[in-house]
C-alpha cells in the first residue's frame, strides 16, 4: 500500500462519518522513547465557523490508527502529520519533524516514569511494613553509577522511627519488569548527555523523590536531581 492510498483511505473515512463540514483536519503524532513507538491522532472539523473536536475513540479511530502506523513506517524522519480534507474529497497533506513536540513528549514521559515510582513505591512500602505500622512520608533515593541504576533506597518515617529498604526498580511492579531498568537508564542518558540536558543541571547522578501519602504526584515538587560524590 502506498502513502497516497493510505491518505485516500483516511480521507474517505472522515468524509463518510462526518459529512457536514467545511474543512476537516487530522493531526497525527508519533512518539518514541526507549525503543517504544506510539501514535496518536486528533480529528476536528469546521462547520458554520465553529471548530468541533472529535475524540480518538470516534468510530473511525481504530481503523485510522492502523493506517497511521503504516504511514509513519514509510516516513520515519517525521513525527507529525497534518491532513486537511475538503467535503468534495480534495485533501492536502504535510509531514514534518516537530522538534518542540518531540522534546515536550520526552519531558512528559520522564515525569510519567517517576510518577510510576511514586505510586508503585507506595504499594511496595505498605507490603514491606509491619501491618500495624502506619506511615505518611518517605524519601526514595535513586543512584546512577556510570549510567546504570542501582536498587532504590527507601527511607520511611513512622511513629516508631525510621525504616529503610532497598528495592530493585524492576521489582516495584507485581510482575518483575526488566524493561524498567532500560527506561530509567535511557532517562539518565537523555537528561545528562542527550536531548534533554539543557533542562537539567549538568552531571547529576542522584534522584531524590519526596513522597507524601496525602499528596498527588507533582514532578517539579516531588522530584529533585543532585550530583553526589559516589566514590
**Would 82 be classed as within a structural domain?**
yes
Same domain, 116 and 212: yes
Same domain, 22 and 64: yes
What would the pLDDT profile of 113-163 be if each residue is shown by its tens digit? 888 888 888 888 878 776 666 778 899 999 999 889 999 999 998 888 888
Q: Which of 97, 125, 146 is the last residue of a domain?
A: 97
What would the pLDDT profile of 177-201 be if each residue is shown by its tens digit? 667 788 888 889 999 888 898 888 8
Q: Which of 97, 115, 141 is the last residue of a domain?
A: 97
**Would 231 be classed as within a structural domain?**
no
What would the pLDDT profile of 58-100 be if each residue is shown by its tens digit? 566 677 777 777 777 766 678 888 999 988 889 999 988 899 9
Detail the DSSP E strand segments found in 48-174. Answer: 50-54, 80-85, 91-96, 135-145, 148-149, 152-158, 161-167
Single out the residue of 96, 101, 93, 40 nearest to residue 69, CA to CA: 40
Query: Any idea what the CATH number is for the domain that residue 128 is in?
Result: 3.30.500
**Cα 78 from chain centroid (whole Å):** 18
Percent of the chain with pLDDT over 90: 16
**Which residues on adjacent β-strands are paired with residue 28?**
41, 81
The reported pLDDT for the residue numbered 230 is 80
Same domain, 13 and 58: yes
Instruction: Give phi and psi for 121, each to the nearest 5.
Output: -70, -30
Bigger pLDDT: 17 or 54?
Answer: 17
Same domain, 112 and 204: yes
Count of structural domains, the chain = 2
The reported pLDDT for the residue numbered 121 is 84
pTM: 0.75
pLDDT over 60 at 56, yes or no: no
Domain of 129, in residue numbers? 106-226
Amino acid at each position: 500500500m502506498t502513502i497516497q492510498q493510505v491518505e485516500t483511505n483516511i480521507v474517505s473515512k472522515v468524509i463518510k462519518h462526518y459529512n457536514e463540514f467545511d474543512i476537516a483536519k487530522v493531526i497525527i503524532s508519533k512518539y518514541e522513547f526507549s525503543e517504544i513507538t506510539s501514535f496518536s491522532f486528533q480529528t476536528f472539523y469546521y462547520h458554520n465557523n465553529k471548530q468541533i473536536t472529535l475524540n480518538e475513540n470516534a468510530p473511525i479511530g481504530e481503523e485510522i490508527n492502523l493506517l497511521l502506523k503504516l504511514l509513519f513506517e514509510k516516513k520515519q524522519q517525521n513525527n507529525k502529520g497534518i491532513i486537511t480534507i475538503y467535503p468534495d474529497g480534495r485533501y492536502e497533506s504535510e509531514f514534518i519533524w516537530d522538534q518542540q513536540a518531540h522534546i515536550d513528549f520526552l519531558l512528559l514521559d520522564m515525569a510519567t516514569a517517576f510518577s510510576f515510582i511514586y505510586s508503585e513505591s507506595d504499594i511496595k512500602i505498605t507490603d514491606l511494613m509491619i501491618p500495624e505500622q502506619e506511615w505518611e512520608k518517605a524519601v526514595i533515593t535513586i543512584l546512577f553509577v556510570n549510567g546504570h541504576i542501582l536498587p532504590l533506597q527507601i527511607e520511611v518515617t513512622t511513629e516508631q522511627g525510621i525504616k529503610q529498604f532497598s528495592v530493585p526498580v524492576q521489582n516495584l511492579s507485581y510482575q518483575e519488569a526488566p524493561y524498567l531498568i532500560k527506561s530509567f537508564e535511557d532517562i539518565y542518558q537523555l537528561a545528562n548527555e542527550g536531548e534533554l540536558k539543557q533542562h537539567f543541571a549538568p552531571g547529576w547522578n542522584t534522584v531524590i523523590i519526596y513522597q507524601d501519602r496525602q499528596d498527588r504526584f507533582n514532578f517539579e515538587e516531588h522530584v529533585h536531581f543532585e550530583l553526589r560524590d559516589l566514590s
